[in-house]
Amino acid sequence: MASNPSYSKCVEACQECATTCLANVVAMLGKESKNACPRCCLECAAICTLCVHAMTIDAKFASDYCRLCAEVCQWCAEECAAHDHDHCQKCAEACRRCAEAGQSVAA
């Protein structure tokens, strides 16, 4: 758990987002994509994991990581939402929640 209690919601959102993004990458294997999905999911999972680490250790630049994470999550949400697949829609929703949580920490 994060050492700073104000990070708790964001840590949970980042963990869910990273897991959902990685599951989406697997679900997209062999499927055609006309945008950055599933590539964005790989980037999103990576920044979410890094963000969790930064918040867990109460890193000096944790809010900066969260700001970048929110941007990447928003981008990933837009890319995934463009697909009709249920797994892409679930991913987009997890990314939106994570972007909101990251923006709150970054503010």
Q: For the segment 1-55, what is each residue's pLDDT rounded down to a tens digit?
A: 556 778 999 999 999 999 999 999 999 988 888 898 889 999 999 999 999 999 9
pLDDT for 74 equals 98
Neighbour tally for 24: CB within 10 Å = 28
Domain ranges of the chain: 5-106
**H helices, E strands: number in the chain:** 4, 0
Q: Which of 49, 48, 33 is nearest to 87 (CA)?
A: 33
The model's pTM: 0.92
| Res 105 pLDDT > 70 | yes
Rounded-to-integer distance, Cα 107 and Cα 100, Å = 11
Q: For the segment 56-93, what is each residue's pLDDT rounded down to a tens digit?
A: 999 999 999 999 999 999 999 999 999 999 999 999 99
Rounded-to-integer distance, Cα 8 and Cα 64, Å = 16
Classify domain 5-106 by CATH number.
1.20.1270.360
